[in-house]
C-alpha cells in the first residue's frame, strides 16, 4: 500500500460525531434516575473518575446502550465478581469519591 492509499483509507474512516449532551454526577449510584433521563436509549461515552487525595484515576468506556451499560456497574452480581480493578475499587469504596461523566452522542455516531 502506498502512502497516498494509506492517506485515502484514513480519510474514509473519519466520522463526524456530534456531542448532544454532557452530564456530570457525583455519587452515581444514588443518581440512577438522572442517568436514565439522559442516557436511556442513547449511545455515548462514560467516564468514571476516582478522585482521592493521592491520585485521580479514570475508567473510560463506550456503549450503544449507555444507560444499561453504566447501570450494570451497580449490579451486585457484577460487583461481587469484581474481576477488574475498577470493579474492585467500586465494591470496596461503595462509589465514594467517584464522579461519572456521560457524553451523549448523536444516534448515527460509530
pLDDT in tens, 20-47: 888 888 878 788 889 999 899 999 999 9
Q: Fold for domain 16-105?
A: GIY-YIG endonuclease (3.40.1440)
Q: If pLDDT is split at 50, 70 and 90, which confidence band does 68 have?
A: very high
Residues 6 or more apart whose Cβ sits within 8 Å of residue 69: 46, 61, 63
Question: Domain residue spans in the chain?
Answer: 16-105
Cα-based angle 79, 84, 88 (whole degrees, multiple of 5): 50
- All 3 cell numbers of residue 102? 456521560
Amino acid at each position: 500500500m502506498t502512502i497516498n492509499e494509506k492517506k485515502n483509507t484514513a480519510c474514509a474512516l473519519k466520522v463526524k460525531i456530534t456531542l448532544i449532551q454532557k452530564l456530570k454526577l457525583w455519587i452515581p449510584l444514588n443518581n440512577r434516575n438522572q442517568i436514565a433521563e439522559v442516557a436511556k436509549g442513547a449511545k455515548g461515552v462514560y467516564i468514571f473518575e476516582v478522585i482521592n487525595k493521592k491520585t485521580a484515576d479514570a475508567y473510560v468506556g463506550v456503549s450503544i446502550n449507555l444507560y444499561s451499560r453504566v447501570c450494570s456497574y451497580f449490579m451486585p452480581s457484577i460487583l461481587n465478581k469484581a474481576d477488574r480493578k475498577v470493579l474492585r475499587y467500586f465494591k470496596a469504596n461503595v462509589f465514594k469519591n467517584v464522579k461519572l461523566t456521560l457524553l451523549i452522542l448523536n444516534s448515527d455516531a460509530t
